[in-house]
Amino acid sequence: MSAELLQTATRWAADDPDPATAAELTALIDKASAGDAQALAELTDAFDGTLQFGTAGLRGRLGPGTNRMNRVVVARAAAGLAAYLRSRGGTSIVVGYDARRNSEVFAHDTAQIMAGAGLSAMVLPHALPTPVTAFAIHFLGTDAAVMVTASHNPPDDNGYKVYLGDGSQIVPPADAAISACIARAGPVKEIPRSAGYEVLDNGVVDAYVARCVELLAPGPRDIGAVYTAMHGVGGEVFMRAARGAGFPAPHPVAAQFDPDGRFPTVHFPNPEEPGAMDMAVADALTYGADIIIANDPDADRLSAGIPVADGYRMLTGDEVGALLGWWIVERMRASGEPMLGTLGQSIVSGTLLQRIAEDAGLGYAATLTGFKWISRVPALVYGYEEALGYCVDPRHVTDKDGISAALLMMEMTAQLKTQGRGIQDVLDRLAERFGLHVTSQVSARVSDVSLIADAMRRLRANPPTSLGGSAVVDVVDLEKGCDGLPPTDGLRFSMERARVIIRPSGTEPKLKCYLQVVVPVDGDLAAARTTADAEMTALRTGVSEALALG
């Protein structure tokens, strides 16, 4: 072990206010010093750079070291954010947290440091969904908010999400400015703290639930739903909102309802992952549910499932995104409201929403990936991204919200049920009117991250002339900017009736490819589905071959 690593780790242990991680680090140092190769590798990785603060805030594995999520990293982040806010005249902040390991500790550390810096700091009363924190910044009128969560990351992760006064997650240049303030933070023991912060009562939660209920229009509520909280914090708030809106109590997946940061019944706490929805589907079969509703662990995402001939199928994020857009337009028409505002989505999402917006005479906008961009669309009335994120009430929650979106899906289902129709019927009618839009993904994970940059360079220098048997008619380098969007690392390939976007993941060592096929429906929807499936299969094969990552 190098003298520099030993010195850095020893100094860190001495500065760590958490006896658990300090002891963990001391034991690791002792083992590495005694020649334990595994301990040395872990110690080296723990101090291999600094966990970077960016537009997603902080997110990483729990444990000691500069490259982990722990009380030292969080304290420095809080001190930096406090300095940033004060330099811009900020005076107040609200802090929320989920049920992951150390989330509550990180939240109260943050509040102490904010109060020590002279800011008015408020902490939500217990572990709650991310949308409640996003709502709180508007409801309380604070200059910023912090949400301690790692969303649907693995159990050993945690994170630190920051919102500023407009209620949206941070974007450049605020991320760089906050990061610079964090870099200037001194030793943790020298950061001022104060117990003079407020732990809020349930008033914010009550107001959030009331707003969710208020969002729904009067109408039928007679449906049966199965709900899973995925071991997260959405359960109680969702059930309150569903009851308040007049729905029969949804059937909870009991084994996944209570918050549990170990996520014991799922391999990966993400509704999109294989096997994650098995318990919910089994319960839906038992109860004959009209819809399956799932939130991810911090309840900012929604997954929905519907009955089909041989059981249930989970809808894709693009299907839910288009359905909610259609339903919001239908509600506007039914209410007699002026057809004003904009429907927004990320550029990697399917384009059916654009057709719905144009048909309704509404504005349409495509943004870079992430709700930090979608939420900033002017006159936004609804926005979504294919990764199960939906913003159905942007005036009150300027971020994705899996609970209010779930209620709108239930409202839609109940209304359709009175007409003898279901959600699949709506998808079929949309396909007949606007073409069958089929989307899919190809992800290529690598062990050597340099392979990702190499692949992007190769694709830029020598782009494929065809994909899946279809000629590429247009190539757009998103790094040069397009359609008025800021530059981002990505490539868009267009074929006659298909589109592929390839971009590096922002959080994982992999390339992500977003595929879409649009097939006209000329009176025979079944034939169009067969054609679309064949074209998508060929496109997936073509994209995999073009990546050539081995």
Catalytic residue annotation: 151
- Paired tokens of 543: 């994209």
Return d(Cα 160, Cα 137) in angstroms, integer.
16
CA–CA gap between residue 519 and residue 499 (Å, rounded): 12
What dihedral do alpha carbons 356, 357, 361, 363 form, nearest 10°?
-170
Give, to the nearest 10 degrees, the angle between helix 71-87 and helix 174-183.
120
DSSP 8-state class, residue 58 = E
Euclidean distance between CA atoms 130 and 513, whole angstroms: 28
Which residues, other chains included, contact 203 with Cβ-Cβ below 8 Å and sequence gap of 6+? Answer: none
Q: Please tell me the distance from the alpha carbon of residue 72 to that of residue 79, in angstroms, as a whole number.
A: 11
Phi, psi for 358 (deg, rounded to 5): -65, -40
| Long-range pairs for 457-461: beta carbons < 8 A, 24 or more residues apart | 458/548, 459/491, 459/502, 459/546, 460/491
CA atoms within 13 A on the CB side of 367: 20
> Helix, strand or coil for residue 43?
helix
CA angle 402, 403, 405 (to 5 degrees): 65
Bridge-partner residues for 314, per DSSP?
305
**Radius of gyration (Cα) for the chain, nearest Å?**
24
Angle between helices 525-547 and 423-434 (to 10 degrees): 80
Question: Is residue 348 within 8 Å of 354, Cβ to Cβ?
Answer: no
Burial 196-225 (b: 16+ CB within 10 A, else e): ebeebeeebbebbbebbbebbeeeebebbb
d(CA 483, CA 78): 36
φ, ψ for residue 272 (rounded to 5)?
A: -80, -15
Convert 19-57 to b/e letters by CB count within 10 Å (16 or more is b). Answer: eebbebbbebbebbeeeeeebbebbbebbeeebebebbb
Phi and psi (nearest 5°) for 198? -105, 130
Q: Report the sign of the C-alpha dihedral through residues 387, 391, 397, 402, in that order.
A: negative
Place of tokens 């990936």: 369
Distances (CA, A) of 75 to 82, 88, 218, 274: 10, 20, 47, 36
Closest residue by Cα to residue 358 from 419, 472, 435: 435
